[in-house]
Amino acid sequence: MPEPSETETEAEECCPPDCCDMRGMLSFQILWELSKKPMNGQELAEQIGLRRGTAPSPGTIYPALKELTQKNLISGEKKGRQVVYTLTKEGRVGLEVATRYFYKVFHEIIETAQPP
């Protein structure tokens, strides 16, 4: 594996700010990622890490997946040594509702941010 970036000037330009806490919305983000494509725990953590700048650790992601499974919003299927998670029908509906809510609360904030 090559050493991280140097030639890659893009890298991640943006990390969690120290002005305010930016935790939260993990389960929401998991549902959204899984709506794009089914994934196992690690890939999911990586995808979320791509957006957040830092990937959630095992102690964060797996309890969240367990919770969402118990709520019947996602379901996991063993494939070899990994567990691939998929949105359930209930999960799709939930994500839709949650997305509308998220839009209502935050869209104005997003719109004041001009893309780089």
Partner DNA sequence: TTAAATGTATCGGGTGCCCAATAAATATTA
Partner DNA sequence: TAATATTTATTGGGCACCCGATACATTTAA
Which residues here bind DNA, judged by CB under 7 A? 20-28, 40-42, 54-60, 62-67, 76, 80-84
| 52 is a contact residue toward a second copy (CB under 8 A) | yes
| 21 is a contact residue toward a second copy (CB under 8 A) | yes
- We find the least distance from the C-beta atom of residue 77 to DNA, in angstroms, to be 10
| Three-state SS sequence of the chain | CCCCCCCCCCCCCCCCCCCCCCCCCHHHHHHHHHHHCCEEHHHHHHHHHHHHCCCCCHHHHHHHHHHHHHCCCEEEEEECCEEEEEECHHHHHHHHHHHHHHHHHHHHHHHHCCCC
Using the contact rule CB under 8 A, the part of the chain among 3-11, 55-63, 78-86, 94-102 near a second copy is 94-102
